[in-house]
């Protein structure tokens, strides 16, 4: 097979070369990190006073982990290490849990990220001749703009359509002879199920490839997508704290995702002890960003569970492959590509006086899409005896969740005492989607 590369020298560099680059870039990243109030304190507490204290990659372990809470506590500029004047872009979480996480990019940071995304795209065999329909949300979310810039660097013809509006998506796919999609796996299956409604058959479309990401999915889901649509589906991994898409991506062999190790140091740790595990062992993914200087992030605990393949890929790339995401160390739910914490739902529904004290979050599938049902007990003293009042309450809860957490939930009302009594979060969240 003819293997396409964006930067063959780096992508196939031997281990020693990669590690040399890592160490050098880690030193540079540390220099930037010392300019941020958060890392100045964190590194100081760990007895690291300058980049010179890190002499080998093994010294990385002296650096304490960074968590999502650290990012929140540092809002808005506690992790920033340049002047705002040098910042060309801000990406941020929606902040629905109270405090958002924010990442600043310098012009060079955006270029570095773009280059990685271009690498990802080219590694799947996509080229400048492809018509690329980017169906991920543009905006503060990194999925849309991240792939957009990478695709532009590759020279693809981009249709920056963004998310949603299924009928229009299908029509655009047909009208512009789209060949490559960027989409969540569940939405892609949904698109397939709606082809008939729009009166457009698969044969009228030119699609060949899909980059699927933003939500974990099983190999079976990939196979289903490939079979139903007769395309190749490539898994994508990224998170906004580490730039967004472009952290790891599948090559033409589709045997899990190459982590660009010249740009990220990837470690797999035991989530309980923090101990670094061997390749092949499943644990929490920890990532250090080596190519972003406006907001450096060191040893970030992603809460994603996965393992690294110890063996080489047939494509010739030397960058190790990360498995699919096998689970989470926290209770975050991913509903049709949107990250949701049960605590966010709880906070919103408990603000509504007619809602009683107990609730349950139930997740299953309706067709190919995830369905989130929020079951709440009503507060008896505020029941006025009318069904219309309860209907209004249902709509109020639904609207509240839609506007604040951007999820479309089914609301069920229950009598007090009808839902299982909570003894911690496990009972409050029931996820019936098949195990990953």
Residue 83 engages another protein in binding (rule: CB under 8 A): no
Considering only residues 187-226, where is the footprint of another protein by CB under 8 A?
Answer: none
Considering only residues 391-430, where is the footprint of another protein by CB under 8 A?
Answer: 391, 394, 412-418
Distance CA 338, CA 166 (A): 17
Nearest Cα to Cα of residue 48 among 29, 63, 26: 63
Question: Residue 180's beta-bridge partner residues?
Answer: 132, 209
Q: Which is nearer to another protein, 138 or 362 (CB)?
A: 362
Contact 338, 325 (CB under 8 A): no
**Helical axes 142-154 vs 107-123, angle rounded to 10°:** 70
Specify the residue for token string 């997740």.
363
In this chain, which stretch among 176-184, 196-204, 322-330, 381-389 interacts with another protein, using CB under 8 A? 381-389
Q: Using CB under 8 A, which of 16, 387, 421, 426 touches another protein?
A: 387
Residues 6 or more apart whose CB falls under 8 angstroms from that of 113 comprise 105, 146, 149, 243, 244, 246, 291, 292
Q: Using CB under 8 A, which of 1, 384, 421, 426 touches another protein?
A: 384
Residue 383 engages another protein in binding (rule: CB under 8 A): yes
- Cα 340 from chain centre: 12
Considering only residues 100-119, where is the footprint of another protein by CB under 8 A?
Answer: none
Q: Which is nearer to another protein, 226 or 373 (CB)?
A: 373
Q: Which is nearer to another protein, 242 or 349 (CB)?
A: 349
Q: Which helix (H) or strand (E) holds 289?
A: strand 283-289
Residue 371 engages another protein in binding (rule: CB under 8 A): no
In this chain, which stretch among 74-82, 252-260, 292-300, 387-395 interacts with another protein, using CB under 8 A? 387-395
In this chain, which stretch among 72-80, 213-221, 281-289, 390-398 interacts with another protein, using CB under 8 A? 390-398
Q: What is the dihedral of CA 212, 337, 332, 272, to 10 degrees?
A: 10
Q: Where are the beta strands (DSSP E) in 35-74?
A: none
Residue 275 engages another protein in binding (rule: CB under 8 A): no
Q: Using CB under 8 A, which of 385, 423, 424, 435 touches another protein?
A: 385
Q: What is the dihedral of CA 75, 78, 82, 85, to 10 degrees?
A: 40
Residue 390 engages another protein in binding (rule: CB under 8 A): yes
Residues in the chain: 436
Q: Which is nearer to another protein, 137 or 360 (CB)?
A: 360
Footprint on this chain of another protein (rule: CB under 8 A)? 378, 380, 383-387, 390-391, 394, 412-418
């Amino acid at each position: 097979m003819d293997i396409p590369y964006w930067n063959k020298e780096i992508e196939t560099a031997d281990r020693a070369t990669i590690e040399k680059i890592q160490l050098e870039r880690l030193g540079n990243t540390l220099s930037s990190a010392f300019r941020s109030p958060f890392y100045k304190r964190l590194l100081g507490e760990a007895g690291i006073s300058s980049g010179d204290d890190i002499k080998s990659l093994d010294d990385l372990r002296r650096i304490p982990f960074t968590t999502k809470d650290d990012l929140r506590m540092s809002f808005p500029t506690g992790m920033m290490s340049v002047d705002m004047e040098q910042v060309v872009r801000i990406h941020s979480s929606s902040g629905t849990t109270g405090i958002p996480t924010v990442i600043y990019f310098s012009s060079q940071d955006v270029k570095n990220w773009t280059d990685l995304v271009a690498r990802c795209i080219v590694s799947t065999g996509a080229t400048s001749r492809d018509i690329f329909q980017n169906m991920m949300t543009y905006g503060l979310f990194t999925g849309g703009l991240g792939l957009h810039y990478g695709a532009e660097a590759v020279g693809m013809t981009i249709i920056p359509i963004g998310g949603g509006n299924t009928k229009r998506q299908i029509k655009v796919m047909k009208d512009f002879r789209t060949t490559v999609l960027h989409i969540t796996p569940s939405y892609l299956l949904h698109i397939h199920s709606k082809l008939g409604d729009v009166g457009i058959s698969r044969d009228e479309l030119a699609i060949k490839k899909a980059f699927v990401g933003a939500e974990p999915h099983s190999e079976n889901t990939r196979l289903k997508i490939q079979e139903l649509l007769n395309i190749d589906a490539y898994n994508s991994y990224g998170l906004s704290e580490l730039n967004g898409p472009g952290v790891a991506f599948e090559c033409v062999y589709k045997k899990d995702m190459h982590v660009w190790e010249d740009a990220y140091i990837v470690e797999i740790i035991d989530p309980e002890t923090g101990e670094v595990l061997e390749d092949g062992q499943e644990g929490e993914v920890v990532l250090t960003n080596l190519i972003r200087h406006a907001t450096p992030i060191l040893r970030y605990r992603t809460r994603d569970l996965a393992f690294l393949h110890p063996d080489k890929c047939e494509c010739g790339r030397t960058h190790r492959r990360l498995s699919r995401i096998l689970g989470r160390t926290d209770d975050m739910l991913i509903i049709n590509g949107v990250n949701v914490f049960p605590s966010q739902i709880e906070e919103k529904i408990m603000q509504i006086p007619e809602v009683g004290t107990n609730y349950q979050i139930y997740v299953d599938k309706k067709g190919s899409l995830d369905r989130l049902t929020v079951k709440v007990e009503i507060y008896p003293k505020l029941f006025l005896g009318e069904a219309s009042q309860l209907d209004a309450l249902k709509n109020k809860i639904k609207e509240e969740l839609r506007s604040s957490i951007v999820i479309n939930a089914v609301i069920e009302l229950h009598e007090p005492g009808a839902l299982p009594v909570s003894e911690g979060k496990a009972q409050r969240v029931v996820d019936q989607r098949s195990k990953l």
